[in-house]
């Protein structure tokens, strides 16, 4: 009995001294998870635009929680695990449900296999990333690159055909056959060892800070004016950086 009392007192003490700084990043993560789960609901209801928007919001919040945690110096193992679980829902399950409900189900069982593969590959990608968080000797990490497509990026690229349909209507790029092959390539990209740029670690020099903020404001204005087009062009730009990152890593690895 005394042991139980002591444990409760210990828990009360820890909760009493738990600061808002420690839980604020986790609150952002929960909001991102909620956005991803809401995207699943919209996808099941056939509200494609809202589903895409919810996944975009989840991606924005996913980019904020880690940055806020590092800024407030409140990074924890619990937060890292919660972030991975949130990513699995928002970037593994939600895009797969959206793509299947919107397009891939017309391919029958093959469409379901592709959607399921997307979710599984996302889980494998996150597991591999988490297992190598402390592996500073990994060649791509040492060179400043990521291994394979990050889960949020793969999710964003995966829902690009939906954005194309919302912006331009149906066509070749929204056909089930194209979407199926395209999604399968993204699955391969997540579990591959292709070196990709780690834009999260991008360091902006002080003299370019104003220019960067101006660029962000222009992008935000473009989104309000042209809806999905800026996201489509951003996705295409990222795809163009992949061969550049592969070539750059090859040069760096060869010189070392």
Nearest CA-CA partner of 183 in 92, 246, 59, 245: 92
Structural contact between residues 161 and 176, judged by C-beta atoms closer than 8 angstroms? no
- 37 by DSSP, 3-state: which? helix
Tell the residue number behind the tokens 């919040």, with chain if given: 61
pLDDT at 10: 46
Inter-CA distances, 167 with 85, 228, 231, Å: 31, 6, 11
- 153 by DSSP, 3-state: which? helix
**Ranges of the chain whose pLDDT falls below 50:** 1-15
pLDDT at 68: 78
Give the domain ranges of the chain. Answer: 2-255
What residues have CB less than 8 Å from 235, skipping those under 6 apart?
156, 157, 160, 163
pLDDT at 15: 45
pLDDT at 92: 96
| pTM, two decimal places | 0.85
pLDDT at 215: 83
CATH architecture of 2-255: Up-down Bundle (1.20)
Give the C-alpha separation, 75 to 81, whole Å.
Answer: 11
Structural contact between residues 198 and 146, judged by C-beta atoms closer than 8 angstroms? yes
pLDDT at 24: 84
What residues have CB less than 8 Å from 158, skipping those under 6 apart?
95, 99, 118, 183, 186
């Amino acid at each position: 009995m005394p042991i139980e009392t002591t444990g409760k007192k210990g828990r009360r003490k820890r909760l009493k001294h738990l600061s808002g700084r420690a839980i604020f990043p986790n609150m952002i993560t929960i909001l991102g998870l909620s956005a991803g789960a809401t995207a699943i609901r919209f996808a099941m209801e056939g509200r494609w635009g809202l589903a895409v928007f919810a996944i975009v919001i989840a991606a924005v919040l996913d980019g904020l929680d880690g940055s806020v945690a590092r800024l407030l110096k409140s990074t924890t193992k619990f937060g890292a695990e919660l972030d991975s679980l949130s990513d699995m829902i928002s970037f593994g399950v939600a895009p797969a449900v959206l793509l299947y409900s919107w397009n891939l189900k017309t391919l029958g069982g093959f469409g379901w296999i592709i959607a399921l593969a997307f979710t599984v590959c996302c889980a494998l990608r996150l597991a591999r990333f988490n297992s190598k968080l402390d592996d500073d000797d990994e060649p791509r990490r040492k060179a400043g690159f990521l291994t394979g497509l990050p889960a949020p990026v793969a999710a964003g690229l995966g829902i690009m055909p939906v954005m194309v349909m919302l912006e331009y209507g149906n066509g070749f790029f929204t056909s089930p056959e194209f979407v199926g092959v395209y999604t399968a390539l993204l699955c391969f990209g997540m579990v591959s060892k292709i070196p990709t740029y780690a834009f999260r670690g991008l360091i902006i020099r002080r003299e370019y800070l104003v220019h960067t903020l101006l660029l962000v404001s222009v992008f935000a204005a473009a989104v309000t004016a042209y809806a999905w087009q800026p996201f489509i062009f951003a996705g295409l730009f990222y795809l163009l950086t992949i061969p550049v990152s592969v070539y750059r890593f090859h040069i760096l690895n060869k010189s070392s």
